[in-house]
Amino acid sequence: DVLVGRLTERVKQFNHDQLSVFGIGRELNEKQWRAVLRQLVAMGHLRADSDAFGALKLTDSARGVLKGETAVMLREQPEGARNRAVRGKSRRGELVPAADSPGGVANPALHAALRAWRSEIARARGVPAYVVLHDSTIDGIAAMRPDTLGDLRNIAGIGDKKLEHYGDELIRIVRGTEG
């Protein structure tokens, strides 16, 4: 519920809607998240805790994944799944697919610069890299190359808080990277 931004009574009760990761995983539907979680359990990064009614718990190996030090390769999304997306220019903010390039990364130089910046910020704040910006958000920025804060706000994963905290730096990185 937290990752997909579902505001349930339980989420409100524990103020999970105030977490920086609230809604960060909206690009995947519930079925896709279940597939991701199954794969992470199979890899040993998550385990079911029988003492906590089967709640999933992070294992020691998950630390490297969360810090961005360990790569995780997941099976492709199931047929009919939503692709990574960015908000289009429509008045309703409809999602449109992000531009893909032959290497799978829209702009390798910008993508690398954004990932390096994210790692630096995450290290300074003592948080996992995905808390700063999710991979799909970096992909969207690299694909769209926003030139203004308004353009940046149209990218999935950039809300008001991220725009306020990181917007100017992200625009500076985009403008300063050849593409």
- What average pLDDT does the chain have? 78
pLDDT band, residue 174 (cuts 50/70/90): very high
- Report domain extents, the chain: 84-179
* The pair of three-digit structure tokens given for residue 171, joined into one six-digit string: 């625009």
Q: Give the C-alpha distances (Å, rounded to integers) separating 92 from 30, 51, 148.
A: 23, 45, 19
d(CA 116, CA 173): 11
- Nearest to residue 41, comparing CAs of 23, 55, 28? 55
The proportion of the chain whose per-residue pLDDT surpasses 70, expressed as a percent, equals 80
pLDDT attached to residue 172: 93
Q: What is the arithmetic mean of pLDDT over 19-42?
A: 81
- Alpha helices by DSSP H, listed for 87-159, are 108-125, 129-132, 135-144, 149-153
Residue among 178, 179, 137 at smallest CA distance from 161: 137
The model's confidence at residue 7, banded by pLDDT at 50, 70 and 90, is confident
Q: What is the mean pLDDT of residues 31-55?
A: 79
Which pLDDT belongs to residue 153?
A: 87
In a 13 Å sphere around the CA of 41, the CA atoms on its Cβ side amount to: 13
Query: What is the pLDDT averaged over residues 129-139?
Result: 88
Closest listed residue to residue 26, CA positions, set 157, 130, 163, 155: 157
pLDDT number for residue 155:
86
84-179: CATH topology: DNA polymerase; domain 1 (1.10.150)
Poorest-pLDDT segment among 12-16, 100-104, 118-122:
100-104
Tell me if residue 117 falls in helix, strand or coil.
helix
